[in-house]
Structure 1
Amino acid sequence: MRNLVVDIGNTGTKYGVFENSQLVKQGYFEAKSQLPEVVANSTFDNAIVASVAKETQNIRQELSVRGKLLELTPQAALPINILYKTPETLGVDRIAGAVGAKFLFPQRNCLVIDAGTCITYDFTDNQGQYHGGGISPGINMKFKALHTFTGRLPLVQQTSEHFPLTGQTTQESILSGVLAGTCAEVNGIIQAYEQKSEDLLVILCGGDAGFFETNLKGRIFVIPELVLLGLHRILIHNA
Protein backbone atom coordinates (compact mmCIF):
# COMPACT_ATOMS: atom_id res chain seq x y z
CA MET A 1 0.00 0.00 0.00
CA ARG A 2 1.50 3.31 -1.13
CA ASN A 3 -0.22 6.42 0.22
CA LEU A 4 0.39 10.15 -0.13
CA VAL A 5 -0.30 12.94 2.36
CA VAL A 6 -0.13 16.64 1.43
CA ASP A 7 -0.12 19.43 4.01
CA ILE A 8 -0.68 22.89 2.50
CA GLY A 9 0.37 25.55 4.99
CA ASN A 10 0.43 29.34 5.05
CA THR A 11 3.90 29.62 3.52
CA GLY A 12 4.50 26.32 1.75
CA THR A 13 3.44 22.72 1.23
CA LYS A 14 4.80 19.53 2.79
CA TYR A 15 4.24 16.03 1.47
CA GLY A 16 4.89 12.54 2.75
CA VAL A 17 4.94 9.19 0.97
CA PHE A 18 3.98 6.16 3.06
CA GLU A 19 4.62 2.54 2.17
CA ASN A 20 2.89 -0.01 4.41
CA SER A 21 2.34 2.73 7.02
CA GLN A 22 6.02 3.72 7.07
CA LEU A 23 7.02 7.26 6.10
CA VAL A 24 9.63 6.62 3.41
CA LYS A 25 9.92 10.05 1.76
CA GLN A 26 8.99 13.59 2.63
CA GLY A 27 9.63 17.03 1.19
CA TYR A 28 8.60 20.65 0.88
CA PHE A 29 7.71 22.99 -1.97
CA GLU A 30 6.46 26.56 -2.16
CA ALA A 31 4.28 26.65 -5.26
CA LYS A 32 2.06 24.35 -7.29
CA SER A 33 4.48 24.61 -10.19
CA GLN A 34 7.10 22.98 -7.99
CA LEU A 35 5.10 19.80 -7.43
CA PRO A 36 7.93 17.27 -7.00
CA GLU A 37 8.43 14.50 -9.53
CA VAL A 38 7.94 11.83 -6.89
CA VAL A 39 4.41 13.17 -6.45
CA ALA A 40 3.51 14.38 -9.94
CA ASN A 41 4.78 11.27 -11.75
CA SER A 42 3.54 8.61 -9.33
CA THR A 43 0.28 6.78 -8.78
CA PHE A 44 -0.81 6.21 -5.20
CA ASP A 45 -3.28 3.81 -3.64
CA ASN A 46 -4.85 6.53 -1.46
CA ALA A 47 -4.13 10.18 -0.70
CA ILE A 48 -5.18 12.94 1.67
CA VAL A 49 -4.83 16.70 1.13
CA ALA A 50 -5.16 19.23 3.95
CA SER A 51 -4.97 23.00 3.68
CA VAL A 52 -5.10 25.83 6.21
CA ALA A 53 -5.12 28.69 3.73
CA LYS A 54 -5.50 27.72 0.07
CA GLU A 55 -7.78 25.85 -2.27
CA THR A 56 -6.76 22.26 -2.83
CA GLN A 57 -8.47 21.67 -6.18
CA ASN A 58 -5.43 22.37 -8.37
CA ILE A 59 -3.19 19.99 -6.47
CA ARG A 60 -5.89 17.33 -6.20
CA GLN A 61 -6.41 17.44 -9.96
CA GLU A 62 -2.73 16.71 -10.57
CA LEU A 63 -2.62 13.63 -8.33
CA SER A 64 -3.03 10.11 -9.63
CA VAL A 65 -4.86 8.00 -7.05
CA ARG A 66 -6.34 4.53 -7.51
CA GLY A 67 -8.51 4.54 -4.42
CA LYS A 68 -9.67 7.26 -2.03
CA LEU A 69 -8.61 10.88 -2.47
CA LEU A 70 -9.67 12.61 0.74
CA GLU A 71 -9.70 16.32 1.47
CA LEU A 72 -9.44 16.81 5.21
CA THR A 73 -12.14 19.00 6.70
CA PRO A 74 -13.27 19.41 10.32
CA GLN A 75 -16.26 17.21 9.41
CA ALA A 76 -14.13 14.21 8.41
CA ALA A 77 -14.26 11.01 10.45
CA LEU A 78 -11.43 11.09 13.00
CA PRO A 79 -9.80 8.62 15.39
CA ILE A 80 -10.10 11.17 18.23
CA ASN A 81 -13.13 12.91 19.73
CA ILE A 82 -13.33 16.66 19.06
CA LEU A 83 -14.71 18.72 21.98
CA TYR A 84 -13.98 22.09 20.32
CA LYS A 85 -17.02 24.39 20.51
CA THR A 86 -16.64 25.54 16.88
CA PRO A 87 -15.18 22.51 15.04
CA GLU A 88 -15.98 24.09 11.67
CA THR A 89 -13.33 26.75 12.40
CA LEU A 90 -10.66 24.35 13.64
CA GLY A 91 -7.51 24.29 11.52
CA VAL A 92 -6.87 20.97 9.83
CA ASP A 93 -3.18 21.14 10.75
CA ARG A 94 -4.17 21.32 14.42
CA ILE A 95 -6.42 18.29 13.97
CA ALA A 96 -3.66 16.33 12.26
CA GLY A 97 -1.12 17.21 14.94
CA ALA A 98 -3.46 16.02 17.69
CA VAL A 99 -4.15 12.76 15.83
CA GLY A 100 -0.44 12.20 15.29
CA ALA A 101 0.26 12.71 18.99
CA LYS A 102 -2.40 10.22 20.07
CA PHE A 103 -1.19 7.68 17.52
CA LEU A 104 2.34 7.84 18.91
CA PHE A 105 1.41 8.22 22.59
CA PRO A 106 -2.12 6.81 23.03
CA GLN A 107 -2.08 6.66 26.84
CA ARG A 108 -0.68 10.13 27.54
CA ASN A 109 -2.04 13.62 27.99
CA CYS A 110 -0.45 15.43 25.04
CA LEU A 111 0.26 19.10 24.40
CA VAL A 112 1.26 19.67 20.78
CA ILE A 113 3.11 22.91 20.04
CA ASP A 114 3.35 23.64 16.31
CA ALA A 115 5.83 26.49 15.82
CA GLY A 116 5.35 27.83 12.32
CA THR A 117 3.79 30.97 10.86
CA CYS A 118 1.67 30.92 14.00
CA ILE A 119 2.38 29.06 17.23
CA THR A 120 -0.50 26.74 18.06
CA TYR A 121 -1.09 24.85 21.28
CA ASP A 122 -3.36 21.80 21.20
CA PHE A 123 -4.28 19.59 24.14
CA THR A 124 -5.61 16.04 23.84
CA ASP A 125 -6.18 13.97 26.97
CA ASN A 126 -5.28 10.33 27.60
CA GLN A 127 -8.78 9.25 26.57
CA GLY A 128 -8.40 10.65 23.05
CA GLN A 129 -10.52 13.74 23.75
CA TYR A 130 -9.32 16.86 21.94
CA HIS A 131 -10.09 19.93 24.09
CA GLY A 132 -8.64 22.81 22.07
CA GLY A 133 -5.72 25.12 22.83
CA GLY A 134 -4.36 28.46 21.71
CA ILE A 135 -3.02 30.43 18.74
CA SER A 136 -0.39 33.16 18.89
CA PRO A 137 1.89 34.92 16.38
CA GLY A 138 4.97 33.02 15.30
CA ILE A 139 8.51 34.39 15.46
CA ASN A 140 8.68 35.76 11.91
CA MET A 141 5.22 37.29 12.23
CA LYS A 142 6.38 39.19 15.31
CA PHE A 143 9.49 40.45 13.52
CA LYS A 144 7.37 41.63 10.59
CA ALA A 145 4.78 43.28 12.86
CA LEU A 146 7.42 45.35 14.66
CA HIS A 147 8.72 46.62 11.31
CA THR A 148 5.33 47.13 9.65
CA PHE A 149 3.51 48.91 12.46
CA THR A 150 6.29 51.26 13.57
CA GLY A 151 8.04 54.10 11.83
CA ARG A 152 11.69 53.28 12.36
CA LEU A 153 12.20 49.75 13.62
CA PRO A 154 14.13 47.61 11.10
CA LEU A 155 12.98 44.24 9.79
CA VAL A 156 14.91 41.52 11.60
CA GLN A 157 14.90 38.12 9.92
CA GLN A 158 17.38 36.24 12.05
CA THR A 159 16.15 33.43 14.29
CA SER A 160 19.31 32.77 16.26
CA GLU A 161 19.68 29.96 18.76
CA HIS A 162 21.78 32.31 20.89
CA PHE A 163 20.49 35.81 21.53
CA PRO A 164 21.13 38.50 24.15
CA LEU A 165 18.74 38.95 27.03
CA THR A 166 19.78 42.59 27.27
CA GLY A 167 20.03 44.06 23.79
CA GLN A 168 22.61 46.81 23.33
CA THR A 169 21.55 47.78 19.82
CA THR A 170 18.09 48.15 18.32
CA GLN A 171 18.50 44.91 16.40
CA GLU A 172 19.67 43.07 19.52
CA SER A 173 16.75 44.54 21.47
CA ILE A 174 14.30 43.24 18.87
CA LEU A 175 15.96 39.82 18.99
CA SER A 176 15.70 39.80 22.76
CA GLY A 177 12.10 41.00 22.84
CA VAL A 178 10.86 38.57 20.22
CA LEU A 179 12.97 35.49 20.95
CA ALA A 180 13.26 35.71 24.73
CA GLY A 181 9.64 36.83 24.94
CA THR A 182 8.41 33.94 22.81
CA CYS A 183 10.42 31.41 24.83
CA ALA A 184 8.92 32.83 28.02
CA GLU A 185 5.45 32.53 26.47
CA VAL A 186 5.91 28.91 25.45
CA ASN A 187 7.49 27.95 28.77
CA GLY A 188 4.62 29.60 30.62
CA ILE A 189 2.00 27.75 28.58
CA ILE A 190 3.75 24.43 29.20
CA GLN A 191 3.90 25.07 32.94
CA ALA A 192 0.21 25.97 33.03
CA TYR A 193 -0.74 22.70 31.30
CA GLU A 194 1.60 20.73 33.58
CA GLN A 195 -0.27 22.10 36.59
CA LYS A 196 -3.65 20.93 35.27
CA SER A 197 -2.61 17.67 33.56
CA GLU A 198 -0.69 14.82 35.15
CA ASP A 199 1.81 12.87 33.07
CA LEU A 200 1.82 15.57 30.38
CA LEU A 201 3.84 14.93 27.24
CA VAL A 202 4.92 18.00 25.24
CA ILE A 203 5.49 17.46 21.51
CA LEU A 204 7.06 20.11 19.31
CA CYS A 205 6.84 20.39 15.53
CA GLY A 206 6.87 23.11 12.86
CA GLY A 207 9.51 25.14 11.08
CA ASP A 208 10.87 26.80 14.24
CA ALA A 209 10.97 23.57 16.27
CA GLY A 210 14.78 23.50 16.20
CA PHE A 211 14.99 26.93 17.82
CA PHE A 212 12.66 25.98 20.65
CA GLU A 213 14.34 22.60 21.16
CA THR A 214 17.53 24.49 22.00
CA ASN A 215 15.96 27.17 24.18
CA LEU A 216 13.05 25.59 26.04
CA LYS A 217 13.38 24.07 29.48
CA GLY A 218 12.24 20.59 30.40
CA ARG A 219 11.74 17.36 28.48
CA ILE A 220 10.18 17.95 25.08
CA PHE A 221 9.80 15.55 22.17
CA VAL A 222 10.60 17.14 18.80
CA ILE A 223 8.79 15.28 16.01
CA PRO A 224 9.02 17.32 12.76
CA GLU A 225 6.85 14.84 10.82
CA LEU A 226 4.01 14.83 13.39
CA VAL A 227 1.38 16.44 11.12
CA LEU A 228 2.24 14.08 8.25
CA LEU A 229 1.87 11.09 10.58
CA GLY A 230 -1.48 12.42 11.79
CA LEU A 231 -2.75 12.95 8.26
CA HIS A 232 -1.84 9.38 7.37
CA ARG A 233 -3.71 8.03 10.41
CA ILE A 234 -6.78 10.02 9.34
CA LEU A 235 -6.46 8.66 5.80
CA ILE A 236 -6.29 5.09 7.11
CA HIS A 237 -9.28 5.77 9.35
CA ASN A 238 -11.31 6.86 6.31
CA ALA A 239 -10.00 4.44 3.67
Structure 2
Amino acid sequence: MNIVVDYGNSSAKVGIFDQRTLKEKHVFRSEVELKDFLQNFPADHFIISSVNTDAKTVSEWTSAKKKFILRHTLPLPVQNLYATPHTLGVDRIAGVCGAQILYPATNCLVIDAGTCITYDFLDSEARYHGGSISPGLKMRFEAMHTFTARLPLVQVTENPPLTGNSTETCMQSGAIHGLTEEIDGIIRRYSEKFSGLVVILCGGDTAFFENRLKASIFAVPELVLSGLNSILLYNVSR
Protein backbone atom coordinates (compact mmCIF):
# COMPACT_ATOMS: atom_id res chain seq x y z
CA MET A 1 0.00 0.00 0.00
CA ASN A 2 1.05 3.57 -0.68
CA ILE A 3 0.26 6.57 1.53
CA VAL A 4 0.16 9.99 -0.12
CA VAL A 5 -0.31 13.20 1.85
CA ASP A 6 -1.37 16.54 0.41
CA TYR A 7 -0.82 18.98 3.28
CA GLY A 8 -2.55 22.27 2.54
CA ASN A 9 -3.10 25.47 4.48
CA SER A 10 -5.94 24.20 6.65
CA SER A 11 -5.96 20.40 6.44
CA ALA A 12 -4.09 17.31 5.30
CA LYS A 13 -5.67 15.05 2.69
CA VAL A 14 -4.44 11.47 2.83
CA GLY A 15 -4.93 8.89 0.11
CA ILE A 16 -4.33 5.15 0.47
CA PHE A 17 -3.48 3.55 -2.87
CA ASP A 18 -3.10 -0.04 -3.99
CA GLN A 19 -0.85 0.59 -6.99
CA ARG A 20 -2.94 3.14 -8.97
CA THR A 21 -6.27 2.48 -7.26
CA LEU A 22 -7.44 4.88 -4.55
CA LYS A 23 -8.80 2.67 -1.76
CA GLU A 24 -9.36 5.21 1.03
CA LYS A 25 -9.32 8.96 1.55
CA HIS A 26 -9.06 10.80 4.86
CA VAL A 27 -8.97 14.47 5.83
CA PHE A 28 -7.18 15.55 9.02
CA ARG A 29 -7.39 19.05 10.44
CA SER A 30 -4.86 18.59 13.25
CA GLU A 31 -1.30 17.30 13.27
CA VAL A 32 -2.11 15.09 16.26
CA GLU A 33 -4.77 13.17 14.28
CA LEU A 34 -2.51 12.86 11.25
CA LYS A 35 0.44 11.66 13.32
CA ASP A 36 -1.67 9.02 15.05
CA PHE A 37 -2.99 7.75 11.72
CA LEU A 38 0.44 7.55 10.05
CA GLN A 39 2.05 5.83 13.01
CA ASN A 40 -0.61 3.13 13.04
CA PHE A 41 -1.09 2.48 9.33
CA PRO A 42 1.33 -0.01 7.75
CA ALA A 43 2.52 1.12 4.33
CA ASP A 44 5.19 0.19 1.84
CA HIS A 45 5.74 3.63 0.31
CA PHE A 46 5.04 7.23 1.31
CA ILE A 47 5.07 10.67 -0.33
CA ILE A 48 4.08 14.09 0.95
CA SER A 49 3.58 17.50 -0.61
CA SER A 50 3.27 20.39 1.81
CA VAL A 51 2.76 24.13 1.39
CA ASN A 52 3.33 25.26 4.96
CA THR A 53 4.26 22.32 7.22
CA ASP A 54 7.65 20.66 7.72
CA ALA A 55 7.30 17.70 5.38
CA LYS A 56 10.38 15.96 6.76
CA THR A 57 8.87 15.86 10.25
CA VAL A 58 5.63 14.39 8.92
CA SER A 59 7.54 11.75 6.94
CA GLU A 60 9.14 10.56 10.18
CA TRP A 61 5.71 9.59 11.53
CA THR A 62 5.39 6.67 9.12
CA SER A 63 7.33 3.41 9.04
CA ALA A 64 7.05 3.08 5.25
CA LYS A 65 10.09 1.49 3.64
CA LYS A 66 10.52 4.20 1.01
CA LYS A 67 9.67 7.83 1.67
CA PHE A 68 9.67 10.82 -0.67
CA ILE A 69 9.08 14.55 -0.24
CA LEU A 70 7.80 16.40 -3.29
CA ARG A 71 10.31 19.13 -4.05
CA HIS A 72 11.43 20.63 -7.35
CA THR A 73 14.44 18.29 -7.33
CA LEU A 74 12.39 15.07 -7.17
CA PRO A 75 12.23 13.24 -10.55
CA LEU A 76 8.85 13.52 -12.25
CA PRO A 77 6.93 11.46 -14.81
CA VAL A 78 6.51 14.65 -16.88
CA GLN A 79 9.05 17.11 -18.28
CA ASN A 80 8.98 20.34 -16.30
CA LEU A 81 9.58 23.39 -18.53
CA TYR A 82 8.71 25.94 -15.82
CA ALA A 83 11.32 28.71 -15.80
CA THR A 84 11.55 28.81 -12.00
CA PRO A 85 10.81 25.25 -10.81
CA HIS A 86 11.91 26.07 -7.25
CA THR A 87 8.97 28.51 -6.97
CA LEU A 88 6.36 26.17 -8.43
CA GLY A 89 3.64 25.07 -6.02
CA VAL A 90 3.92 21.35 -5.35
CA ASP A 91 0.14 20.93 -5.64
CA ARG A 92 0.26 22.35 -9.17
CA ILE A 93 2.86 19.86 -10.39
CA ALA A 94 1.02 17.01 -8.67
CA GLY A 95 -2.15 18.04 -10.50
CA VAL A 96 -0.58 17.86 -13.95
CA CYS A 97 1.02 14.50 -13.10
CA GLY A 98 -2.47 13.29 -12.23
CA ALA A 99 -3.73 14.56 -15.58
CA GLN A 100 -0.95 12.73 -17.39
CA ILE A 101 -2.05 9.44 -15.81
CA LEU A 102 -5.73 9.95 -16.64
CA TYR A 103 -5.23 11.33 -20.15
CA PRO A 104 -1.85 10.26 -21.54
CA ALA A 105 -0.67 11.70 -24.88
CA THR A 106 -3.33 14.44 -24.60
CA ASN A 107 -3.23 18.22 -24.30
CA CYS A 108 -4.58 18.90 -20.80
CA LEU A 109 -5.59 22.04 -18.95
CA VAL A 110 -5.82 21.51 -15.19
CA ILE A 111 -7.92 24.06 -13.29
CA ASP A 112 -7.59 23.93 -9.52
CA ALA A 113 -10.39 25.97 -7.96
CA GLY A 114 -9.29 26.68 -4.42
CA THR A 115 -8.03 29.67 -2.45
CA CYS A 116 -6.53 30.76 -5.75
CA ILE A 117 -7.56 29.56 -9.19
CA THR A 118 -4.59 27.95 -10.93
CA TYR A 119 -4.50 27.02 -14.61
CA ASP A 120 -1.78 24.57 -15.68
CA PHE A 121 -1.07 23.26 -19.16
CA LEU A 122 0.42 19.87 -20.00
CA ASP A 123 0.93 19.08 -23.69
CA SER A 124 0.41 15.77 -25.47
CA GLU A 125 4.12 14.95 -25.14
CA ALA A 126 3.94 15.13 -21.32
CA ARG A 127 5.66 18.52 -21.16
CA TYR A 128 4.48 20.91 -18.47
CA HIS A 129 4.62 24.53 -19.62
CA GLY A 130 3.11 26.52 -16.74
CA GLY A 131 -0.14 28.47 -16.70
CA SER A 132 -1.66 31.27 -14.64
CA ILE A 133 -2.87 32.16 -11.15
CA SER A 134 -5.77 34.38 -10.15
CA PRO A 135 -7.79 35.03 -6.97
CA GLY A 136 -10.24 32.33 -5.98
CA LEU A 137 -13.91 32.90 -5.18
CA LYS A 138 -13.71 33.50 -1.43
CA MET A 139 -10.58 35.60 -1.87
CA ARG A 140 -12.51 37.95 -4.18
CA PHE A 141 -15.18 38.55 -1.57
CA GLU A 142 -12.56 39.09 1.14
CA ALA A 143 -10.56 41.47 -1.06
CA MET A 144 -13.57 43.68 -1.80
CA HIS A 145 -14.30 43.91 1.91
CA THR A 146 -10.68 44.41 3.05
CA PHE A 147 -9.58 46.99 0.49
CA THR A 148 -12.65 49.24 0.59
CA ALA A 149 -14.09 51.36 3.34
CA ARG A 150 -17.74 50.42 3.10
CA LEU A 151 -18.23 47.15 1.25
CA PRO A 152 -19.36 44.35 3.59
CA LEU A 153 -18.03 40.80 3.74
CA VAL A 154 -20.74 38.80 1.98
CA GLN A 155 -21.21 35.08 1.54
CA VAL A 156 -21.09 32.91 -1.55
CA THR A 157 -24.56 32.12 -2.88
CA GLU A 158 -25.66 29.43 -5.32
CA ASN A 159 -27.75 31.56 -7.70
CA PRO A 160 -26.78 35.23 -7.74
CA PRO A 161 -28.77 37.52 -10.03
CA LEU A 162 -27.03 38.88 -13.09
CA THR A 163 -28.24 42.35 -12.14
CA GLY A 164 -27.88 42.89 -8.41
CA ASN A 165 -30.30 45.25 -6.70
CA SER A 166 -28.37 45.70 -3.44
CA THR A 167 -24.72 46.03 -2.51
CA GLU A 168 -24.66 42.42 -1.36
CA THR A 169 -26.23 40.99 -4.53
CA CYS A 170 -24.08 43.24 -6.74
CA MET A 171 -20.93 41.86 -5.07
CA GLN A 172 -22.20 38.30 -5.41
CA SER A 173 -23.01 38.86 -9.07
CA GLY A 174 -19.62 40.40 -9.80
CA ALA A 175 -17.53 37.78 -8.02
CA ILE A 176 -19.41 34.65 -9.08
CA HIS A 177 -20.39 35.55 -12.65
CA GLY A 178 -17.07 37.27 -13.19
CA LEU A 179 -15.04 34.25 -12.12
CA THR A 180 -17.24 31.86 -14.09
CA GLU A 181 -16.74 33.93 -17.24
CA GLU A 182 -13.00 34.06 -16.55
CA ILE A 183 -12.73 30.27 -16.35
CA ASP A 184 -14.83 29.78 -19.49
CA GLY A 185 -12.76 32.40 -21.30
CA ILE A 186 -9.43 30.79 -20.37
CA ILE A 187 -10.73 27.39 -21.47
CA ARG A 188 -11.87 28.85 -24.80
CA ARG A 189 -8.47 30.42 -25.50
CA TYR A 190 -6.59 27.20 -24.72
CA SER A 191 -9.06 25.19 -26.82
CA GLU A 192 -8.48 27.49 -29.79
CA LYS A 193 -4.71 27.06 -29.48
CA PHE A 194 -4.38 23.34 -28.65
CA SER A 195 -6.27 20.59 -30.46
CA GLY A 196 -8.12 17.88 -28.57
CA LEU A 197 -7.80 19.76 -25.28
CA VAL A 198 -9.11 17.98 -22.18
CA VAL A 199 -10.07 20.24 -19.28
CA ILE A 200 -9.86 18.83 -15.75
CA LEU A 201 -11.36 20.66 -12.78
CA CYS A 202 -10.23 19.94 -9.22
CA GLY A 203 -9.92 21.75 -5.88
CA GLY A 204 -12.24 22.72 -3.07
CA ASP A 205 -14.69 24.68 -5.27
CA THR A 206 -15.04 21.93 -7.88
CA ALA A 207 -18.66 21.18 -6.97
CA PHE A 208 -19.58 24.87 -7.10
CA PHE A 209 -18.28 25.42 -10.63
CA GLU A 210 -18.63 22.10 -12.45
CA ASN A 211 -22.23 22.72 -13.57
CA ARG A 212 -21.83 26.46 -14.14
CA LEU A 213 -19.23 26.30 -16.89
CA LYS A 214 -20.26 26.30 -20.54
CA ALA A 215 -17.17 24.36 -21.57
CA SER A 216 -16.94 20.58 -21.43
CA ILE A 217 -14.91 19.58 -18.38
CA PHE A 218 -14.05 16.53 -16.29
CA ALA A 219 -14.41 17.05 -12.54
CA VAL A 220 -11.73 15.06 -10.68
CA PRO A 221 -11.68 16.21 -7.03
CA GLU A 222 -8.87 13.79 -6.07
CA LEU A 223 -6.57 14.71 -8.96
CA VAL A 224 -3.73 15.95 -6.73
CA LEU A 225 -3.74 12.75 -4.67
CA SER A 226 -3.64 10.65 -7.85
CA GLY A 227 -0.80 12.79 -9.17
CA LEU A 228 1.19 12.38 -5.98
CA ASN A 229 0.72 8.64 -6.21
CA SER A 230 1.97 8.63 -9.81
CA ILE A 231 5.09 10.55 -8.74
CA LEU A 232 5.58 8.06 -5.91
CA LEU A 233 5.30 5.05 -8.22
CA TYR A 234 7.65 6.70 -10.72
CA ASN A 235 10.35 7.13 -8.08
CA VAL A 236 9.85 3.71 -6.49
CA SER A 237 10.44 2.08 -9.88
CA ARG A 238 13.65 4.00 -10.62
State whether TM-score is above 0.5. yes
What do you get for the CA RMSD once the two structures are aligned?
Answer: 1.4
Q: Deviations over 1:7-48 (max 9, x none)?
A: 011232211001232101012222212327543421210000
After superposing the two structures, state which structure 1 stretch, 26-35 or 138-147, moved more: 26-35
| TM-score of the aligned structures, taking structure 2 as reference length | 0.95
Pair 43,129 (structure 1): closer, same or farther in 2 beyond 3 Å: same
Report if aligned partners of 1:161, 1:214 keep a CA contact under 8 Å in 2: no
Letter in 2 for 1:71: I
Amino acid at match of 1:167: G
Which aligned pairs between 1:133-172 and structure 2 lie closer than 5 A?
Answer: 133-158=131-156, 160-172=157-169
Q: Counterpart in 2 of 1:202?
A: 199
1:219 to 207, 216, 220: 216
> Aligned partners of 2:228, 2:110: CA distance in 1, in Å?
15
Mapping for residues 24-39 of structure 1, pairs under 5 Å: 24-35=23-34, 38-39=37-38
171, 174, 181: which one aligns with 1:174: 171
Identity of aligned residues (%): 49
Q: 2:181 aligns with which of 162, 181, 184?
A: 184
Q: In the alignment, is the contact (CA less than 8 A) between 1:109 and 1:124 conserved in 2?
A: yes
Q: Aligned partners of 1:38, 1:11: CA distance in 2, in Å?
A: 17
Q: Secondary structure at the match of 2:165?
A: coil
**Cα pair 1:50 1:71 within 8 Å, conserved:** yes
Q: CA deviation at 1:61?
A: 2.5
Partner of 1:114: 112
Q: Which moved more, 1:36-45 or 1:96-105?
A: 36-45
Return 176-185 or 13-22, whichever deviates more: 13-22
Look up the equivalent residue of 1:62 and give its one-letter code.
W
Q: Is the Cα contact below 8 Å between 1:109 and 1:126 reproduced in 2?
A: yes
Residue 48, structure 1, aligned to residue 47, structure 2: yes
**Contact 2:98–2:228, Cα closer than 8 Å, also in 1:** yes
For the Cα contact (< 8 Å) 2:35–2:61, is it kept in 1?
Answer: no
Counterpart check, 1:69 vs 2:64: no
Q: Which amino acid aligns with 1:202?
A: V
- Shift of the alpha carbon at 1:229? 0.4
Deviations along 1:119-150, whole A, 9 cap, x unmatched?
Answer: 10000000001010001111111111111111
Q: Which amino acid aligns with 1:3?
A: N
* Matched-pair contact (CA < 8 Å) for 2:12–2:28: yes
Report how many aligned residue pairs link the two structures: 236
Runs of 4+ in 1 over 4 A off after TM superposition: none
Counterpart of 1:85 in structure 2: which amino acid? A
Q: Deviations over 1:49-72 (max 9, x none)?
A: 00123322332222221x111000
State the alpha-carbon separation in 1 of the partners of residues 199 and 152 from structure 2: 34
Once structures 1 and 2 are overlaid, which stretch shifts more, 141-150 or 225-234?
Answer: 141-150
**TM-score, length-scaled by structure 1:** 0.94
Matched, 1:125 2:127: no
**Structure 1 counterpart SS, 2:180:** helix
| Distance across 2 between alignment mates of 1:163 and 1:207 | 20
Q: Secondary structure at the match of 2:210?
A: helix
Distance 1:61 1:153 in 2: 47
| Corresponding residue of 1:8 | 7
